[in-house]
Copies of this chain bind each other. A is one copy, B any other.
C-alpha cells in the first residue's frame, strides 16, 4: 500500500483527458497534474529542449514525492522516455508504448490509421514504432492541425468542427483501415464527431485510456494502491495559470473531484 500521489505531466492541458481516464480506473488515488502551458506546444522543439523541459517537470514531481509518473505528452513520450527512465527513480509510464501494443491486438487486416497534430505526424514516431513491431503493417497517417484549436475553443459538437473533420478523415475510409489511433491528447474530446465520419467497423484507440489501464496493472504489480476509501484529491499545476483552455478541459473532470489549480515555476529546476 502506498498513499503517495501519482504524477501526470503534459506540455499543456490536453493531458487532462489522460488524467480523466486515470481517475476513472483509480478513483481513490491522489493525483498531481502539471501542464507546461507557458511553453506549449513542445512538438516543434529540439530534442535537447524537450529533454530539459521533461527533466524539470520530473524534478518538480519528484519533489512532491509521487509514486509513479505518467507522461501524457505525445512529444515527450516519443523523445524523452529513455532519458527519464534513466534519470528518475520512480517508475514511469508513457502514453505511446501501451497504445502501440493495443493497436497490434486490435487490428485484423493490418491497416491502421493514425491522426495527430502536424508535428506528431511529421515526426513519424507512430509509423516507426508500429512498423518496428510488425513490418507488414500499413500505416495511414493524417495530420489534423485544426482539431486542437477547435477543441481548445470548446467547439466539440460544432458544425464547423464536423465539416473540417470530414475533410481530414474521409480519405481514411477509402484506405479500409480497421483501427484508428487518436494520437493527440485532445482528440478523445471529439471522439463522437470522429465516429460519425469514420466507418463504424473501425476500432478507435485512445492512448490515454490504454495507458490508464496499464497503470492499474503496474500499480497492482508493485502493490502501490492507496488505502484511501474516499475519492482522491487532484492538484493541477500550470506553468502559465492564465490558460484559456483550462475552462474547457475542467468541464470534462465534471466537478466530481476537488481540483486545485496552481501556478508552477520550473526555472528553479534548471
Q: Which residues of A contact B (CB under 8 A)?
A: 44, 118, 145-146, 149-150, 153, 155, 158-161, 163-164, 240, 242, 244
Contact = CB atoms under 8 A, between A and B. Distances in A.
Task: Give the one of A145, A153, A163, A240 with max B CB within 10 A.
Answer: A163
B146 A153 contact: yes
Nearest to A45: B38
A153 B164 CA distance: 11
A145 B159 CA distance: 17
Contacts of A153: 145-146
Given A145-B153, A146-B149, A153-B145, A244 B118 contact: yes
A160 B149 contact: no
Contacts of A150: 146
A146 B118 CA distance: 17
Contacts of A160: 160-161, 163-164
Contacts of A149: 145-146, 149
A186 to B, nearest CB: 13
Nearest to A244: B118
A180 B40 CA distance: 32
A151 to B, nearest CB: 11
The 10 closest A-B CB pairs, nearest first, are A160-B160, A149-B149, A160-B163, A160-B164, A159-B163, A146-B153, A146-B149, A145-B153, A118-B244, A146-B150
A11 to B, nearest CB: 15
Contacts of A164: 155, 160
Contacts of A242: 44
A117 to B, nearest CB: 11
Contacts of A146: 149-150, 153, 155
Nearest to A150: B146
